[in-house]
Amino acid sequence: MKIDDLEQMDSEDLRGLTSNERRKFLKMGLAVTGLYLGGTVLSLTSVKNAGAAGVVPEDGQYPYSPHYSMVIRERLCIDCERCKNACVKTNHVPAYGFRTTILEKRRSLGGGKHETIFMPVLCNHCNRPPCVRVCPTTATYKDEKTGIVVMNPPRCIGCKTCMTACPYNARYFKEETRAVDKCDFCFNSRLSKGESTTACVEACPADVRVFGDLADNKSRVYQLVHAPETMVWVLRPETGAVPNVFYINS
């Protein structure tokens, strides 16, 4: 393009803009700002509900009564396995299966040293249990009163979808009943017979496992998970299952 041709072209500076076009531009700017502002206001209003997003439920927000749950004071566990043995005896768990077990974590302390932490695991009696959602025959369901995830063995067809759905490997197929078996917080073996706690809790010599009603603010489980300066976590929170077994570091 030659310099003479450039001179022939229309000027692109602001003088060429009609006031109509200026107005349109301003309106668009206002609309965009308004949209963002509105969005921000909306997002602020929802903060109130988002407060409960942590693993510990907000006070008073327990769907069940009694809302049974367990707190595991992980650092106290010495892997004596008395909880496992008590569970096996109480609930007739066969040798090839388990309802609860103890896993071993290893953490580096630097300088070639390590510490070992024992992590008891069991059914988390989730508020949104994936196993219950997938069961085609409602052979496993959440007890409406207590929130315990229970089995109805004669209804189980043995498709094992609950076993693939459970994020905690808490289920196994029990040959004797031809049904999937799992921890029921000793509902059938103890709680329904008037006992107030599970076999594993009773057997633990180190007071690792604490069982109780989370909806009762005088219970130990309530006080432990709501205690100040306490780290409370659950296993695999990313699955959205909302578990009721809480782990604390004190």
CB-wise, 89 or 105, nearer to other proteins? 105
* Segment interacting with other proteins (CB under 8 A) among 143-151, 174-182, 206-214, 224-232: 174-182
Among 104, 115, 195, 207, which residue interacts with other proteins (rule: CB under 8 A)?
104
Are 120 and 72 in contact by the 8 Å Cβ rule? The answer is yes
Residues 124, 132 contacting (CB under 8 angstroms): no
The site that binds other proteins (CB under 8 A) totals a number of residues, namely 45
For the record, the structure tokens of 242 come out as: 């909302």
Question: Which residue in 34, 133, 195, 249 binds other proteins (CB under 8 A)?
Answer: 133
**Among residues 205 and 240, whose Cβ is nearest to other proteins?**
240
Residue type, 247: Y
Smaller CB distance to other proteins: residue 159 or 216? Answer: 159
| Minimum CB distance to other proteins, residue 28 (Å) | 35
Q: Give SS3 for 201.
A: helix
CA nearest to 173, candidates 93, 102, 100:
93
Closest listed residue to residue 71, CA positions, set 141, 124, 130: 124
User: Under the rule (CB under 8 A), what is the footprint of other proteins?
Assistant: 96-97, 103-107, 116, 119, 121, 130, 133-139, 154-161, 163-169, 171-173, 175, 178-179, 235-236, 238-241
